[in-house]
Every structure is written in structure tokens, then in C-alpha cells.
Amino acid sequence: MSLQNKYALITGSSRGIGRGIALKLAADHVKVAVHYYQNETAAKETLADIRKLGSDGFLVQGDVSQPEQIEALFRRVQTEFGKLDIFVSNARPEIPAFFQPPMEVSLEQWDTAFDSQAKAFLIEVRQAAPLMSAGGRIFAMTYAQGSRTGGLQSWAGMGSAKAALESLVRYFAVALAKRGITVNAISPGWTEDSVLNTLPEPAQDLIRNWHISGWTPMGRLGTPEDIGNVVALFCAQEAGWITGQVIYADGGASLMNPEVPPEIQLGS
Ligand SMILES: NC(=O)c1ccc[n+]([C@@H]2O[C@H](COP(=O)([O-])OP(=O)(O)OC[C@H]3O[C@@H](n4cnc5c(N)ncnc54)[C@H](OP(=O)(O)O)[C@@H]3O)[C@@H](O)[C@H]2O)c1
């Protein structure tokens, strides 16, 4: 697919899923603003890989939990690109910044979750929309299982923040519909080469084995490339009638029934 003459900003594209999205869009000829927070070296590598794919872009740093830094980020996009066609709100703080059960999470951790997700998206979309014309595409990366379940206790702050983010996606979808700009959330399943790889090895093994052994019907974890492909698909002109949705991109994991062991569900 060619997305020639399109310009994208992806927050948190130094590594993980954001990087996968950046590389897929670059392969489709999109110019990419590579945003990072602390990891300039990784961001430089992403930009170098974008150039190897025949596209181009620039690096921009900022903390998405700070409104004035988000505004500076978009000022830079306006200066460098002059317009924006694709915006992906993908950045998420490191696990220790928010990962606590509901009875223990500090107000600072709670604010970090909400400021970096729902509040950041509110500010980002207000900055992005004026740079966009009809056909613009806005995405929020969510984890919809954490928005609607309560089992992963230490996800309380981030799960609540993602739920608010998904709600805001629907409100912005209506607000921008008349301008021909779509706004959707994408919910990846557990993904390799991402935050997963920062967890202790035993936890990684438990998660991988659970999915490979059946919880993900397709029998593997996702990759950043999988999610890049989903974003690229939704950037196609033909996807212009889909807005305000939460798209599960998880090899079918969200279809499994949590009350029944996978061995019985899969009916082997
Ligand atoms: N990984 C999964 O299995 C999975 C599943 C479902 C949903 N998701 C969602 O997908 C998105 C990406 O997840 P990931 O696992 O790929 O992320 P990741 O590998 O942990 O990378 C996080 C990215 O966010 C940036 N970042 C961290 N704190 C920031 C801050 N305060 N301000 C601005 N940027 C900041 C990082 O920049 P630096 O590199 O500069 O630090 C990095 O680029 C998240 O929204 C996540 O909730 C992930």
C-alpha cells in the first residue's frame, strides 16, 4: 500500500509497538516524526531504519504527561511537516510509574496513568486536528482487557486510564466526523519486543506459554509488525467509514471465555 505524501506522528516510537508502527508506515512511504522520552539512542535507531526503508522524518522528545511538552511536540511537527495525516497516541510510562493494586496505588501513580493517557489524548487530539484535513487518521493504543476486567490488580490505575481513553476516542470520533477524520482505538494482545520483555523472565515465560498453549487461538504472541499492519490498514482510504471503534488485534485472544479452561474451549 502506498501512503505517499502522508505525514505521521507516533508517540513512543523509539521502541516496542510504536516503533513497529513507525517502520510499517515508513515502508508505505509515510514521513514519520519519531517521538521518545528518555531513550534517544533507540529513537535514533528507529529513524535510521526509517531512512533505510526509503522514507524520512525527525526526532522529537517530550513527556506526554506534561501538557506544555505535548504542545511543544505539535509545534515542532507543524514546523517540520506543516501538516499531519496520521497521529498515533501510543506512549505509556514505565511499569513502576503506575503499577500498584487499587488499595495501594499512590495518587501520584494514579495521576501518571491518567495524565499520560486520557488527559494526554485530550490535549494531543486538540493539537493534531487543526493540522489535519479530510482523510486524517487518529489512533489511541489501548489495552481493552484492562479496561473491562479487574483481575490484574496492579493495572488498576492504567486500566482505568485506558477505559477513559477509549471513551474519549468515541467522543472525538463524533466531534471530528464531519471533517472526515476517523478516530479509533487499537487493542493489541500481548506483544513481543515490547514492555513484555522488561518483565522478569519467569513472568515472561508464564505469559508466553499461556498464549502459545491455547489462550491465543492463533498460537503465538503478537509482534510490533502485526500492530503496524493494523494501523496501515486503517490508514487506507477504504477504511474511512470506520470510526469510534476499539479494534482488537490479538490473534483471537479476546474471544476466549475466562470461565472455561482453554483445553475444553478449543475442543481438541
Ligand atoms: N506490549 C503489549 O503487549 C501491549 C498490549 C496492549 C496494549 N499495549 C499498548 O501499546 C502501547 C505501547 O506499548 P509497548 O509495550 O510497546 O511500550 P514500551 O515498549 O514500554 O515503550 C514505551 C514507549 O513510550 C515512551 N514513553 C515512556 N514514558 C513516556 C512519557 N512519560 N512520555 C512520553 N513517552 C514515554 C517510551 O520512550 P523511551 O523509549 O524514550 O523511554 C517508549 O517509546 C502502550 O500504550 C500500551 O499500553 C501494549
- CA 16 to centroid of ligand 1, rounded, Å: 7
Q: Is residue 235 in some structural domain?
A: yes
Question: pLDDT digits over 112-136, tens only?
Answer: 999 999 999 999 999 999 999 999 9
How far apart, in whole angstroms, are the C-alpha atoms of residue 166 and residue 180? Answer: 20
Q: Is 148 helix (H, G, I), strand (E, B) or coil?
A: helix
- pLDDT on residue 268: 58
Q: Kindly state if the Cβ of 34 falls inside 6 Å of ligand 1.
A: no
Residue 167 has pLDDT above 80, yes or no: yes
Q: Is residue 209 in some structural domain?
A: no
Q: Is residue 261 in some structural domain?
A: no
How far apart, in whole angstroms, are the C-alpha atoms of residue 238 and residue 224? Answer: 23
Q: Kindly state if the Cβ of 216 falls inside 6 Å of ligand 1.
A: no
Cβ(60)–Cβ(33) under 8 Å?
A: yes
Domain CATH code at residue 229: 3.40.50.720
Q: Which domain holds residue 115?
A: 7-199+222-252
Which ligand 1 atom is at minimum distance from the Cα of 20? 16
How far apart, in whole angstroms, are the C-alpha atoms of residue 137 and residue 63? Answer: 22
Q: Kindly state if the Cβ of 112 falls inside 6 Å of ligand 1.
A: no
Number of domains in the chain: 1
Question: pLDDT digits over 46-76, tens only?
Answer: 999 999 999 999 999 999 999 999 999 999 9
pLDDT > 90 in the chain, percent: 95
How far apart, in whole angstroms, are the C-alpha atoms of residue 215 and residue 262? Answer: 6
Cβ(10)–Cβ(37) under 8 Å?
A: no
Residue 32 has pLDDT above 70, yes or no: yes
- CA 268 to centroid of ligand 1, rounded, Å: 36
Cell 520483555, located at residue: 197
Q: What is the dihedral of CA 111, 200, 248, 135, to 10 degrees?
A: 60
Q: Is residue 1 in some structural domain?
A: no
Residue 104 has pLDDT above 70, yes or no: yes
Q: Kindly state if the Cβ of 188 falls inside 6 Å of ligand 1.
A: yes
Q: What pTM was computed for the model? A: 0.98
